[in-house]
Structure 1
Amino acid sequence: MAVAISLACAGAAVAQPAAPTDAQKAEITRLRGILAAQHRQFDDVRLAGPDVTLHLGRRFYFLGPDEAKQVLKEWGNPPEAIDGVLGIIFPAGKTFVNDTWGAVITFKPSGFVTDKDADKADYDKFIRDVQSHEDEDNEARKKSGFASIHLVGWAQPPSYDRTHHFLIWARDLKFGGEADDTLNYDLRVLGRRGVLSVNLVSTMPQLAAVRADASQLAADVTFDPGSAYGDFRAGTDKKAEYGVAGLVAAGLGLAAAQKFGLLAVILLFAKKGLVLILAGFAAVTAWFRRVFNRRKTIIPSTEPASTATNEEPDEAA
C-alpha cells in the first residue's frame, strides 16, 4: 500500500513525506488489525448494568467493554485505571487514531443524587482551588515519571438541565509541553440509582465539534423506565451523600473534593480514574501524527466491516 501521496497545487508537485521506518510499518499493520476486528454497534445500544439505552442512530457508534479497554490502553492508560468501563463511543467514520473524540462510558451506583445545589455552587472557586494545588500535585507526578498537568480553566462552565437531569462541563488542560491542550468534556446523566458518566476526550482545537456532539449525546442517553431520575422513591431508594456540586468537584480531582469536605466523593473516586489519566490524550494523538505523517492517508476511517449485524456499511474513502 502506498504510504505517501503527492498533491498538485497550481501545477506544482508538493514534496512527498518521508517513508515510514520498518518499525512504523509494523505499527501500522498492528493498528489496522485492531481496527478491522472491531465490532461497531449503531442505532439503539442497551447497557444492562445501569439500565440505560444509547440512541446512537447512524451518527455515532459504540464499542463494548473489551474493545473500549483496548482503545484506552492504546491511549496510554494502565489496566488498573480502566476497570468498570462499559464502552466507548466514536463519531461514525472515525476511529481512535483520528483527530476526533472518544466518549468513555462508566456508571457509578451511588444512589440518587440531589440536584438542589446545582445552581448554588461557585464553580470558578473550584477551578482556583485545583490550581492552588497544582505545584504540589505536579511534583508528585514528576517523581512518578509523569508529565505535569495544568488546569487552564473551564472550556465550558458547568450547566445543569433540570428537565432532562444531565450535567455538562468541559476543562482545558495543558499536559506537559504539548502544543495542543487536552479537552475533557464531561457529561453526567442522573438516574434513580446512580450516575452515568460520558467523558469525551479530545483536544482544544476540536472544542466546537465536541460541544455539538456532546449536546447530541446528552439527548441520546436515556435511563430505562423504572430507572429514570423521576422514578426515585423517597424513603425507599438509596440516596447519594452528595449533590450535583459534588459531582463537579470529584470530576476536577480529589483535591477539590477534599477541600469541600465531600468525603463520600473521595471514597467513591479513591482509585485513580480516567478523568486525569486521559489528560494525556493530546500527547498520544501527537505521537500518532508523528508516526503516521497525516495518518488519514495511511489508516482510512472506513475499515473493513466486522461480522456484527449492525455494522455500518463501508463507504468510499
Structure 2
Amino acid sequence: MKKSTTLLTILCFWLVQLGYGQEDSLQLEALYQQYADSINQSFQFQHGEVSLQGDLALLKVPKGYKYLDAEQSKYVMADLWGNPPSECLGMLFPEETYPLSDHFTYAIEITYSEDGYIEDEDAQELDYDELMEEMKSQSVAINEARIEQGYGAIELVGWASSPFYDSKNKKLHWAKELKFESDSANTLNYNIRILGRKGYLNLNVIGEMDVLPMVKQDIDPVLASVDFKEGYRYSEFNPDIDQVAAYGVGGLIAGKVLSKVGFLAVLAKFWKFIAIAAVGLISALRKKIAGIFSGN
C-alpha cells in the first residue's frame, strides 16, 4: 500500500459519497496537502541529547534522525493516527520524514513500562521457532476479541527478524511480520526493549514491511542511542527492595507482549492512520469544501 495512492482513493471515495466528481477530488487532495503541510510545519523537532521522563533515561538522537517530544508525540499517535491515548515519551523520525508526509517511511515510538526487573537467564535457551508457534496460537484468541470489538483480524505471518539479545548491554530486539485483514501490504512490527532496574524502555517501529532494510541498516545506532540513567540501570537492581517481573525474556517477547501490550493497540498503529487523518480532515473542512465547490 503506497500512501499517495491510498490517500487519493480515500479522498475520491468520500467525494463520491458527497456527490462530487473527479475535478472536485483533485481540489480536495490539494486542500489535504495544504492541511498536511501546515501540520508538519507546526512540529518542533530536536537533535542532540534529550532526557526522557526526567531522570529515567538519556536519548542521544542518532545521526539521520530527529526527536519529537512527549506532548507532540501523543498528539501524533492519538489525534493524527487514531490510536488510544498512551504515555508516550517521544518519537524518532528519519530526518526527511514527517507524520503526514507523502514520503512517510517509518517512525519509532518510545514508551516505558515499569513492570519490574526482568531476569534474563532464559535468554540463551530460547527456541524462537517454538516461541513463534506459541505466539501464533495466542493470536487466535486475540483475533476473536478484535472481531468482537469491530476490528479486522491480524495474521501473525512470522519473524521478520529473529530475536536477538545483547546480554552485555541488556538490549533485546526482534521483528514480526503482520497481515491485516483489509490491507494488501503486510505491516512491520519491529520491537526494541532496553532492560532496566524497574522495567524496560520500549522502542516500537511503525511502518510497512518494505522499510525493514532501512530499519535493520540503522538498528545499531538506534540501539546505542538510549540508555537508562544512574539509579535506573539494570546493574543497579537491589533484590531487597526492587520488584522482580513475573516473566523473563521469553515472556517479554511472547506472552507479555501479546497479552498486555497486545495486538489491540501496538500492532494496529500504522496501517490505517492515513485513513483516519483523511476522514478527520474531511470532517473538519466539510463547510469550507462545500463553500469552495459552490463558489461561495
Q: TM-score range by the shorter chain?
A: 0.7 to 0.9
Match of 1:42 in 2: 47
Q: CA deviation at 1:18?
A: 8.1
Q: 1:193 to 1:119 in 2, by over 3 A?
A: same
Contact 1:99 1:285 in 2 (8 A): no
Match of 1:94 in 2: 97
Number of residue equivalences:
255
Q: 1:92 to 1:233 in 2, by over 3 A?
A: same
Q: SS at 2:165's partner residue?
A: strand
Match of 2:226 among 192, 216, 221: 221
Q: Percent identity?
A: 30
Gaps of 5+ in 1: 1-16, 255-268, 290-317
Match of 1:275 in 2: 266
> In structure 2, how many angstroms separate the alpha carbons of the residues matched to 1:65 and 1:157?
30
Aligned amino acid, residue 90 of structure 2: G
Higher mean displacement: 154-163 or 69-78: 69-78
Match of 1:233 in 2: 238
> In structure 2, how many angstroms separate the alpha carbons of the residues matched to 1:138 and 1:193?
31
Higher mean displacement: 110-119 or 148-157: 110-119
Q: 1:139 to 1:92 in 2, by over 3 A?
A: same
Partner deviation per Cα, 1:206-262 (whole Å, 9 max, x = no partner): 1111112232211111111232111222323222222111210146511xxxxxxxx
Q: CA deviation at 1:24?
A: 2.5
Partner deviation per Cα, 1:91-142 (whole Å, 9 max, x = no partner): 1121123331111111011221111111223332232233235455434433
Q: 1:240 to 1:50 in 2, by over 3 A?
A: farther
Higher mean displacement: 90-99 or 164-173: 90-99
TM normalised by structure 1 equals: 0.72
> In structure 1, how many angstroms separate the alpha carbons of the residues matched to 2:40 and 2:225?
25
Q: SS at 2:271's partner residue?
A: helix
TM normalised by structure 2 equals: 0.77
Partner deviation per Cα, 1:22-64 (whole Å, 9 max, x = no partner): 3323322222221111010111111135611111144211111
Match of 2:112 in 1: 107
Contact 1:43 1:58 in 2 (8 A): no
Contact 2:81 2:277 in 1 (8 A): no
Alignment RMSD (CA, Å): 2.7
> In structure 2, how many angstroms separate the alpha carbons of the residues matched to 1:125 and 1:119?
14
Q: Name the structure where helix makes up a greater proportion of residues.
A: 2
Q: 1:125 to 1:57 in 2, by over 3 A?
A: closer
> In structure 2, how many angstroms separate the alpha carbons of the residues matched to 1:99 and 1:251?
30
Match of 1:144 in 2: 149
Gaps of 5+ in 2: 1-21, 279-296
